[in-house]
Chain A
């Protein structure tokens, strides 16, 4: 489970995320949506211990990430948007190191299984510096899933993946959640979010524009009639942005008046 409570992050006078609260229950895939600079990655970075909240708390499996970091970090796996890995290690060596870090039982057989799944078995003994971006992304995904964590936190997962791997990853996330685990992902790919997310939060410039299931959001924005199948989330997303813009303008007009 993930609990974000009144999370605010400021960089000097700039407020990147403002009073954000949401809970992700086990068994679901939760999507953080938003344009560039919406605050998705800032939120994710707070959840995985890379950015300290200015105020509020972030908890994973009941552990405050900043007060009880080791227990919290044992509970999640993290897939970053850019897969920087140790180029001078082979994939097997890196994954064994991760296995030792998280005390994964039967590491070798698990690594074999994951490499096979992502068609990386032949490359397993090669240095990661020889890998393409997509192959590195696959290794980063395996590193996050190897400990079979109760919570999976993913930042823009599909960057650099080929269509086959992208479909595999979507199915993996879904399967992970279906086994009673928690998956939180950020994306600005609306089709991806629509395909696998049970609940969504739409962010814009650090503020929540809308939250709920797809049906909740459709009801709220009056887009139940939908549009073309598959782009309805896109309609919701832009409707929310328009609402926010209209509200901001009316606030400005009131202030001037």
Chain B
């Protein structure tokens, strides 16, 4: 028998595009997705964009009356907005980069193909950008377009503003990717994912805390004092945080809108490009190795002695199948760094929020009361931000092992309710702590204190149910990594609905709150709640809570039951 020598195949004239491959897969997903979901999402987007454009335009008109000083105030608000959004991206960039760069299922295929590692790495960094920065970028676009139109910006200014916004978010993503590659390379074998994720969360929290140290609330304090307002406006002409990249982006955007190309865009470009290049250079040497280390991370320690159920497991099992399922979920969450890191994010978010609320000094009691009540809507949004990471993916994280439940003697209702009860303690404690601690720190009266608690409970129940329900209605069992699950049409719809519910809950009790805050002489203590409007408001909140919770859960389990 003769053997032919192996001849390496000639490389194709043009290497296949990984992005085109992903885009094709995404196109198939879109075509197969629920059309009603897209319609709802488009409607939601139209409402949000309209409100943003309208609000921006009116603000610019109002501040424009004060001349250039007034519009400079808007420039600083833009800067603060960019700092806030980019700190949010910074917060999640490292953990998302770890899960996207190292834990995605398609890496088994991509990294075993005759492709340069840097191309796979580039694709995954792009996916990290989409997973962390797409929503903030979409939030910025209508704002930038409105600013451009308001100042009659030249045509070239629009792509420059867009590029500035992209670079603002690309920098933390590049940093996250760089940290992820470094951490995965140096973390001890056996605990690569766990150690890297924990360090990633700590680093991100440190970065965000550093940004928080800028204390934008000082500005709020000055705005409330008319004597300081004029001086503040003058001071506002210069950037508040000249060393932060989002401030460079803000200046670049602002000056582009005025028809000038600003020099701070250059350091921004260099920073974002430098970080991405550094990450790519490091990845070329260490990416594949880090990925292999992540695969090797669990070293078996063979032990024939049987490990029996713990007391906690036996206790959970007493509650029947639902209890066993909830305990199984808890166990999986605590063992999976991509899931438990979300709990750290919860704690960090609550901490940052409470520090911010405590730092806002508001001397006028009525204003304090109203602001104390309105901020509950923001808390609802934070609870939604937590629920989109914990409640919405609760079904999807079953992954391909879902067949075990689906073919087992357990109903879709039991599954959905168990998931709901598993996440509720987290959102309920978070909501109550934020609601009551912020009410206490703002020295709100007894009625507002009680209502803060009730609205927090209502938000926690309904938002968690919406998350679990919507997540069960359209689960994504084949997500390449858990970070993808929330960034989906269903996840965005969930965020929109949660915000809408937070506002609804406030509106239901707005009248007794107004009575209690504005006329404390007529409505002392809890008396505003005993008035007809108070009673109706409480009944309304109770009904909205019960119907919202049960309706969302029921919708979830009915749809889950129909799933094939």
Contact = CB atoms under 8 A, between A and B. Distances in A.
Contact of A123 (B302, B331, B408): B302
A50 B313 CA distance: 29
A38 to B, nearest CB: 19
A71 to B, nearest CB: 8
B336 interface: yes
A123 B298 CA distance: 13
A93 B407 contact: no
Contact of A124 (B306, B324, B332, B411): B306
A127 interface: yes
B307 A90 contact: yes
Interface string B323-360: 01100100110011000000000000000000000000
Interface string A26-65: 0000000000000000000000111110000000000000
A101 B400 CA distance: 18
Given A70-B411, A84-B399, A108-B306, A100 B321 contact: yes
Contact of A78 (B302, B401, B407): B407
A219 interface: no
A86 B328 contact: yes
Contact of B409 (A70, A84, A127): A70
Given A80-B403, A122-B303, A96 B410 contact: no
B331 A126 contact: no
Nearest to B400: A84
A86 B300 contact: no
Nearest to B339: A88
A93 B404 CA distance: 14
B409 A126 contact: no
B564 A50 contact: yes
B309 interface: yes
B303 A125 contact: yes
B331 A89 contact: yes
Interface in B398-430: 399-401, 403-404, 406-411
Given A122-B302, A123-B300, A84 B324 contact: no
B409 A102 contact: yes
B401 A85 contact: yes
Given A101-B410, A123-B300, A143 B564 contact: no
Given A100-B321, A126-B300, A88 B409 contact: no
A93 B22 CA distance: 37
A73 B409 CA distance: 5
Contacts of B399: 84
Size bin of chain B's contact surface: 20 to 34
B28 interface: no
A121 interface: yes
A92 B408 contact: no
Contacts of B335: 88, 127
A238 interface: no
B304 A50 contact: no
Interface string A112-142: 1000000001111111011000000000000
B298 A130 contact: yes
A97 B323 CA distance: 10
A140 to B, nearest CB: 9
Contacts of B303: 122, 125
B317 interface: yes
A16 B298 CA distance: 42
A102 B562 CA distance: 23
A89 B321 contact: no
A165 interface: no
B304 A102 contact: no
Contacts of A84: 399-401, 403
B65 interface: no
Given A49-B406, A97-B328, A123-B300, A92 B307 contact: yes
Given A70-B410, A89-B332, A96 B309 contact: yes
Given A101-B408, A108-B308, A125-B303, A86 B332 contact: yes
B273 to A, nearest CB: 38
Interface string B447-460: 00000000000000
Contacts of A82: 400
A51 B562 CA distance: 9
Given A70-B410, A74-B409, A130 B313 contact: no
B338 to A, nearest CB: 10
Given A50-B407, A69-B411, A100-B317, A86 B304 contact: no
Given A124-B306, A126-B301, A73 B321 contact: no
A113 B110 CA distance: 41
B331 A93 contact: yes
Contact of A89 (B325, B328, B410, B562): B328
A190 interface: no
A77 B562 CA distance: 21
Interface pairs A-B: 5 shortest CB-CB = A84-B400, A100-B324, A88-B335, A74-B409, A122-B302
Interface of A: 48-52, 69-71, 73-74, 76, 78, 80, 82, 84-86, 88-90, 92-93, 96-98, 100-102, 108, 111-112, 121-127, 129-130, 143
Interface of B: 298, 300-309, 313, 317, 321, 324-325, 328, 331-332, 335-336, 399-401, 403-404, 406-411, 562, 564
19 contacts: A48-B406, A51-B564, A52-B562, A52-B564, A73-B408, A73-B409, A76-B407, A86-B332, A86-B401, A90-B307, A97-B324, A97-B328, A98-B408, A101-B321, A101-B409, A123-B302, A126-B301, A130-B300, A143-B404
Given A52-B564, A93-B328, A123-B302, 5 more contacts: A71-B409, A89-B331, A102-B408, A122-B302, A125-B307
